Structure 1
Amino acid sequence: MQLLRNRLSNFRSLRVYLTVYEQGAISSAAKTLNLTQPTISIQLKQFSNVVGAELYYVQGKKLVFTESGKLTAKYCRQIIQKIDDLEIEISNLAQLKSGTLKVAAVTSCEYFVPHLIGSFLEKFPMVDIDFKIDNRENIKERYNNGQDDLYLFSHIDNDMTGEVVPLFPNNLYAFASKTHPLALKEKVSLKSLVGFSWILRERGSGTRQAIEEHFSKSDVVIRPKLVMESNEAIKHCVMAGMGLSILSEYALTQESPENLTVLPVDTFPIKTYWNLVFPSSTKQSTLSQAFMAHLMEYKQVLKGGIQEQNTRFI
């Protein structure tokens, strides 16, 4: 593999000049660099013209460097060192030894993304993760501004033009407290849900959008009595008998509260997907590709865990 320093067209002149400066003679530099003396002389002259200052003069058979020449040698040394450092860091990044990955996710991901990131960092302990979790509106704004390397959404808008990778199902279920009248029924029709108190996520959230789209297909409208941004707060309100709600299976199977029950609604579950989204303005990095590969492995473990919990709860 050709070294980075050799692929930079103007970099060789810096190396030639610094070698001549350190060796103190063109003949010695020619042997070190395996170049002819005329070639060294030509490159020295061209380099001086590029810098725009007299870097040296010949006194007898000896090169004498000017103050400008000494200053140039100092910065040539620094530039060469920086290029060497860059080459090392790029190599480390390619091997996932270092780097920072910026991940942003909607709040519904809070049940599995921390575990996903934790297992990723176990594989690559030198990598840093900048993780942002927030409501959908704020994460969508970050997506529009291209602030992160990748995003996790449960609902994809038409204006999201980046690469979208469907990951795994995110089924939504209606649920109630076990003391609710509907909890005793073996079958519940969609239309029979009208008239009860509802506690839903905020308008604009992926869950809320999926719910509204599903009900609108059957010309059924439910109006929330309470609107909340927190899945956990919604679960506690339902447990307190304040109304019905609809949440992701991941939220419902977490800790499996004994005083909650999933309602056997005839058109449920509402089928949605978790999606990994890459912004259209950036190219996938080595880190983001590795994270996606890890997520694809992790989803099999997650799927198995959800299915096991579902047999006990849903």
Structure 2
Amino acid sequence: MQSRLHAHVGTMRQLEILLAVHDKGSINEAAKALFLTQPTVSIQMRKLSDAIGEPLYQFINRKLIFTDVGLELVKTAVEVLDSFARLDMALGYIRKFKSGTLRLAVVTTSKYFIPHLLGPFCEQFPDIDIQLNIGNREKTIERMKQGVDDFYVFSHPPQDIDAQSLELLDNPLVAIAHQDHPLGKQASISLADLCEVPFLMREKGSGTRYAIEALFKQHKLQPNIKMTIESNEAIKHAVMSKLGISIISAHTLTYGGQSGLVRLPVKELPIDSHWFFMWSTSKRPTLIASAFLKHIESNGRELLQDELDKSGLG
């Protein structure tokens, strides 16, 4: 017997609002993003919940948490809206307009080089829209599990998700200090020396932290963590303010600037890691996603390597 659920799940606009609430994690932030009032978003979500017959989310300690039913509806909403996006792009191709929306979710540190991949692609397809979500490794993995985006970028890819990957670029992790720091004046130091001074660590869920903890564990050492900080930019400024030393991606220095900082000559560094471009095998690619993947496969490494060569890190 054919299901009639589609007759009750609401309008396309309600599905768009649902995805905005899911992505923003807040009724108020979703309303701002969609240029709607907060009551309008709440009413549409209540109507959608009533149509399904189950609550889509709940508030726990003032935090909006989606229920299992809500997450399943999010998956369906992504598929439905993607189908219309593919139709829109197909019609655009037919009319000689290469338009559509490309959705990317990337871990925080990769935000420095992703624009160098997007720039030439957007020149080729000037009418496309780009939705770029930047978060830590944990949040980006969650988006990938939900199938929200077309592509994902990780330095430490998840192993429990059915996906394909393409290695993009080396991602060496290096130690940095203020240019006046005593360790910066030494010709050679060890990882153990880093444990003797205040250390600034990325937050839990960060791929950089994952790699740093693995390195210290391998050498049976424990860093003297003074602060936990949620962004590379904030870590760089904390190091500039002489609050401690840290280990970050060399690309953060390449693309983000390194005024007042020095790279420490630690014998056990750099940590050897890589950037990976990933996509779910269970998600049917849109036309614009297929075009972007072809762009990455044919030009991606060369574009990024050129930038590294200009910076001296190539």
Q: TM-score range by the shorter chain?
A: 0.5 to 0.7
Separation in 2, partners of 1:266, 1:309:
23
Q: After TM superposition, give the deviation of residue 207 of structure 1 in Å.
A: 0.6
2:225 alignment partner, SS class: coil
For 1:134, the equivalent position in structure 2 comes to 135
Moved over 4 A (4+): 86-89, 93-96
Q: After TM superposition, give the deviation of residue 130 of structure 1 in Å.
A: 1.8
In structure 2, give the amino acid aligned to 1:200.
M
For 1:193, the equivalent position in structure 2 comes to 194
Distance 1:96 1:149, change over 3 A: farther
Q: After TM superposition, give the deviation of residue 286 of structure 1 in Å.
A: 3.1
Q: How many residues align?
A: 227
8 Å CA contact 1:197, 1:244 repeated in 2:
yes
8 Å CA contact 1:96, 1:287 repeated in 2:
no
Q: After TM superposition, give the deviation of residue 293 of structure 1 in Å.
A: 2.7
1:74-113 map, 5 Å: 90=90, 92-93=92-93, 97-113=98-114
Separation in 2, partners of 1:307, 1:117:
19
Q: TM-score when scaled to structure 1?
A: 0.67
**Is 1:253 paired with 2:254?**
yes
1:253-310: CA deviation from partner (whole Å, max 9, x where unpaired): 2354332100111121111111111123213333223212323414323223223323
8 Å CA contact 2:141, 2:158 repeated in 1:
no
Separation in 2, partners of 1:224, 1:180:
17
Which structure 1 segments of 5+ residues have no match? 1-85
1:175-194 map, 5 Å: 175-194=176-195
RMSD over aligned CA atoms reads 2.3
Distance 1:243 1:290, change over 3 A: same
Distance 1:88 1:237, change over 3 A: closer
Q: TM-score when scaled to structure 2?
A: 0.67
Distance 1:234 1:92, change over 3 A: same
Distance 1:89 1:193, change over 3 A: closer
**Identity, % of aligned positions:** 37
Distance 1:88 1:115, change over 3 A: closer
8 Å CA contact 1:143, 1:279 repeated in 2:
yes
1:158-180: CA deviation from partner (whole Å, max 9, x where unpaired): 21321121111111100101111
Separation in 2, partners of 1:228, 1:141:
21
2:127 alignment partner, SS class: coil
For 1:144, the equivalent position in structure 2 comes to 145
1:99-143: CA deviation from partner (whole Å, max 9, x where unpaired): 222111111111121332232111111222222112222221111
Which structure 2 segments of 5+ residues have no match? 1-85
Q: After TM superposition, give the deviation of residue 91 of structure 1 in Å.
A: 5.7
2:99 alignment partner, SS class: coil
Bigger drift between 174-183 and 254-263 goes to 254-263
